[in-house]
């Protein structure tokens, strides 16, 4: 029979055994789980099944074989070599054609002067008030005070002696205006070779009168006469002046001699003349920078350009370009330039933009130098030799 002490002992041992068994079971289970996980992680990753290539079709379903021949250098299509189109030179208009067209344009733009004078001279009664109106009309047209007084005096005498009919008035006015413009002046351009050297023309004037454009247009006039022309871009102060002149030259086949921007104008002018001699050119046209007539230093430089050129060749023409729309201011400019350099001829530009055609008379009378060229319009051939009689006829049309 079990005593209470034995029962207690057995109970304690059973509890201990149960606890030990449970502990062992837990340890074994945990270890198995860890091992299983480790083994699973070591297995190779599943790979996607390879896509099987489609079986080639046979029989009626078979595709036609593709012909891919090997291309050789001989088979290759090479692009055709691009050739630059030949430059097309323009054919400038002849001097005679210019005169006809410019006369019509001058008649439209300058008609107010001639028609105004005719209207006054055709009055039934030419009293003092009428003659004062005639005098005012002439002075307003920039004819100048002295030429105006001279013209009015001759008109008064002839109108009193020969009558005052409209037909007579027009004939008398035309004759006196032609005499005032002076057709006896030599307006020819010295543009021919002499002593084995080309003629040299120097273009001068203030800023904005259109010197570079005038050089380009004059080149066209000369080339239309079958002259060989070389251009000298001695305007090194105005940006793109040399480019502008070169463009003019390329259009008619005239070569342009140029230098660096801001370079010595006299040096470039000298080089242009040397090139003209080497090429046996007929004419060398030298463009100069525009300068204010009030700037003494720039005006002196102009004289230097001429002196340097003359170490190689004679300067045959010094053409002063005047903007006809400036009126009496243009006359002042002309006076100063004539004091610095020996001006041989005048070029009046923009004559179609003013009703004051009297500047032709005034500037010739002031300098004793003829107007040789006139510009009327913006076109490349809107420059023509000046003709006294055609000028007056245009005023009276």
**Among residues 185, 168, 165, which one has the least CA distance to residue 176?**
168
Q: How confident is the model at residue 12 (pLDDT cuts 50, 70, 90)?
A: low
Ranges 14-28, 40-54, 118-132, 302-316: which has the least confidence: 40-54
Q: What 8-state DSSP symbol labels residue 43?
A: S
Q: CA 278, 280, 285, 286: dihedral to nearest 10 degrees?
A: 10
| pLDDT tens digit sequence for 235-261 | 888 778 889 999 999 998 899 999 887
- Domain 199-390 fold is Rossmann fold (3.40.50)
How far is residue 345's CA from residue 98's CA, in Å, rounded to a whole number? 19
Predicted local confidence at residue 378, as pLDDT: 79
Q: What share of the chain has pLDDT > 90, as a percent? A: 30
**Burial (Cβ within 10 Å: 0-12, 13-18, ≥19) of residue 12:** exposed
- Which CA distances in Å does 19 have to 6, 23, 30, 250? 20, 6, 17, 116
Contact 393, 103 (CB under 8 A): yes
Q: Which helix (H) or strand (E) holds 23?
A: helix 4-42
Binding positions are: 205-212, 287-291, 349-352
Binding positions for GTP are: 205-212, 287-291, 349-352
Judged against a pLDDT cut of 60, whether residue 174 lies above it is answered with: yes
Give the HSE-up count for residue 54: Cα atoms under 13 Å, Cβ half-sphere. 4
How far is residue 259's CA from residue 242's CA, in Å, rounded to a whole number? 8
Contact 164, 121 (CB under 8 A): yes
How far is residue 119's CA from residue 173's CA, in Å, rounded to a whole number? 11
Contact 220, 306 (CB under 8 A): no
CATH hierarchy code of domain 95-181? 1.20.120.140
Beta-carbon contacts of residue 266 (< 8 Å; ≥ 6 apart): 234, 301, 304, 305, 307, 308, 309
The model carries a pTM of: 0.73
Place of tokens 């006196």: 176
Judged against a pLDDT cut of 90, whether residue 227 lies above it is answered with: yes
Contact 319, 202 (CB under 8 A): yes
Helix (H, G, I), strand (E, B) or coil at 279: coil
Q: What share of the chain has pLDDT > 70, as a percent? A: 69
How far is residue 191's CA from residue 389's CA, in Å, rounded to a whole number? 23
Predicted local confidence at residue 257, as pLDDT: 95
Per the prediction, the chain carries an average pLDDT of 77
Predicted local confidence at residue 112, as pLDDT: 64
Predicted local confidence at residue 10, as pLDDT: 45
Judged against a pLDDT cut of 50, whether residue 218 lies above it is answered with: yes
| pLDDT tens digit sequence for 28-83 | 555 554 444 555 444 444 444 444 444 444 444 444 444 444 444 344 444 444 44
- Which CA distances in Å does 286 have to 54, 100, 217, 218, 310? 84, 28, 13, 11, 13
Sheet holding 345-349, edge to edge: 255-257, 229-234, 283-288, 199-204, 317-323, 345-349, 371-375, 383-385
Judged against a pLDDT cut of 90, whether residue 393 lies above it is answered with: no
Specify which residues 379 forms β-bridges with. none
Judged against a pLDDT cut of 60, whether residue 146 lies above it is answered with: yes
Mean pLDDT (whole number) for 161-181: 82
Q: Which helix (H) or strand (E) holds 285?
A: strand 283-288
User: What ranges do the domains of the chain cover?
Assistant: 95-181, 199-390
How far is residue 175's CA from residue 173's CA, in Å, rounded to a whole number? 6
How far is residue 384's CA from residue 347's CA, in Å, rounded to a whole number? 10
| pLDDT tens digit sequence for 331-360 | 888 888 888 889 999 999 887 765 567 888
Which tokens is 396 given?
A: 């009276």
| Alpha helix stretches (DSSP H) within 81-165 | 95-121, 128-140, 145-162
Contact 382, 376 (CB under 8 A): yes
Predicted local confidence at residue 320, as pLDDT: 94
Contact 142, 356 (CB under 8 A): yes
Specify which residues 385 forms β-bridges with. 373
Q: How confident is the model at residue 163 (pLDDT cuts 50, 70, 90)?
A: low
Cα-Cα-Cα-Cα dihedral sign, residues 105, 106, 112, 115: negative
Helix (H, G, I), strand (E, B) or coil at 199: strand
Ranges 9-13, 21-25, 83-87, 248-252: which has the least confidence: 83-87
């Amino acid at each position: 029979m079990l005593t209470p002490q034995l029962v207690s002992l057995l109970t304690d041992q059973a509890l201990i055994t149960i606890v030990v068994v449970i502990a062992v079971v837990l340890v074994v289970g945990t270890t198995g789980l860890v091992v299983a996980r480790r083994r699973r992680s070591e297995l190779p990753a599943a790979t996607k099944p390879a896509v099987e290539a489609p079986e080639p079709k046979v029989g009626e379903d078979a595709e036609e074989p593709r012909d891919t021949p090997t291309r050789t250098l001989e088979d290759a299509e090479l692009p055709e070599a691009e050739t630059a189109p030949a430059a097309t030179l323009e054919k400038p208009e002849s001097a005679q054609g210019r005169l006809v067209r410019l006369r019509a344009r001058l008649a439209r733009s300058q008609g107010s002067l001639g028609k105004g004078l005719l209207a006054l001279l055709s009055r039934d009664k030419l009293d003092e008030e009428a003659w004062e109106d005639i005098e005012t009309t002439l002075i307003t047209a920039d004819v100048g005070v002295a030429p105006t007084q001279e013209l009015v005096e001759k008109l008064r005498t002839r109108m009193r002696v020969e009558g005052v009919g409209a037909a007579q008035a027009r004939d008398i006015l035309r004759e006196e205006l032609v005499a005032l413009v002076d057709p006896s002046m030599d307006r020819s351009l010295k543009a021919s070779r002499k002593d084995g050297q080309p003629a040299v023309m120097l273009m001068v004037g203030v800023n904005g009168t259109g010197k570079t454009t005038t050089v380009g247009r004059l080149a066209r006039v000369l080339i239309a006469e079958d002259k060989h022309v070389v251009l000298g871009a001695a305007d090194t102060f105005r940006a793109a002046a040399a480019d502008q002149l070169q463009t003019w030259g390329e259009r008619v086949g005239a070569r342009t001699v140029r230098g660096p921007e801001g370079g010595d104008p006299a040096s470039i002018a000298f080089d242009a003349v040397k090139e003209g001699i080497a090429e046996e050119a007929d004419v060398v046209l030298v463009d100069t920078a525009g300068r204010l007539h009030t700037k003494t230093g720039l005006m002196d430089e102009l004289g230097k350009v001429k002196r340097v050129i003359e170490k190689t060749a004679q300067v045959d023409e010094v053409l002063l370009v005047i903007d006809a729309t400036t009126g009496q201011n243009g006359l002042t400019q002309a006076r100063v330039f004539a004091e610095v350099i020996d001006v041989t001829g005048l070029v009046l530009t923009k004559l179609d933009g003013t009703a004051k055609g009297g500047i032709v008379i005034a500037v010739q009378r002031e300098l004793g130098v003829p107007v040789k060229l006139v510009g009327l319009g913006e076109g490349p051939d809107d420059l023509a030799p000046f003709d006294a009689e055609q000028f007056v006829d245009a005023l009276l049309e």
